[in-house]
Amino acid sequence: MFRFLRFAAAVGIAIGLQIFVAGIHPILPRGLDFVLVVALYYAFRCRPATSALLGSVLGLVQDSLSGGHFGLNGFATTFGAYTTSRIQERMVIHQNSQVLLLLLLAATLQQTLVAGLQFLLFRDAELPNALTTVTLMATSSLAGTALYVASQRFHSWHERRQVLGRQRIRLED
């Protein structure tokens, strides 16, 4: 339940930030997709089945915010999240640069799928601007990595505090 609430809060914050940034300047959300960042982060942290489910929900959120074909981002984000999770499961990741590389790969896969599906399925489709897409992929993977590193640091700090707390209790006894 707590995990679900945390996920719902993350989605809410991502949507809020997306709209906040769009309000500052309409061109800004083209270069950074907060919902995609959350999808990448959860893909990296969760198991493949959970990642696919969460990716599916987040993709539909992206579709709701955009005026495009409903289900396009849903498909791409589900597949991207699942693939990221599968790769992460099979690799031993020690460095932040490896996290960044994997998330960059996931963002590239997601964007390629969106463009590819649009091109394949819809007659009036146009390929997205290359510069915008590259910027979106780079910023989203960077933000996803930053979020992952911050959460790792928070977890280790929290664990240290708990260990210290237990030692203090033992000394007082």
End-to-end CA distance of the chain: 35
37 touches 29 (CB < 8 A): no
Which residues touch 36 (CB under 8 Å, ≥6 apart)?
Answer: 58, 62, 77, 107, 110, 136, 140
32 touches 21 (CB < 8 A): yes
Total residues at the site for another protein (CB under 8 A)? Answer: 47
Q: At what angle do helices 130-172 and 34-45 cross, to 10 degrees?
A: 50
CA distance 22 to 63: 16
- Binding-site member from 66, 108, 112, 139 for another protein (CB under 8 A): 66
Segment interacting with another protein, rule: CB under 8 A, options 12-20, 38-46, 145-153, 157-165: 12-20
64 part of the interface to another protein, by CB under 8 A? yes
Segment interacting with another protein, rule: CB under 8 A, options 22-30, 36-44, 93-101, 148-156: 22-30
70 part of the interface to another protein, by CB under 8 A? yes
Q: Considering the complex, state which of residue 16 and residue 157 has its C-beta at the smaller distance from another protein.
A: 16
Interacting residues with another protein (CB under 8 A): 12, 15-20, 22-24, 26-30, 47-49, 52-53, 56, 59-61, 63-72, 74-75, 78-79, 82, 117, 121-122, 124, 126, 128-129, 132
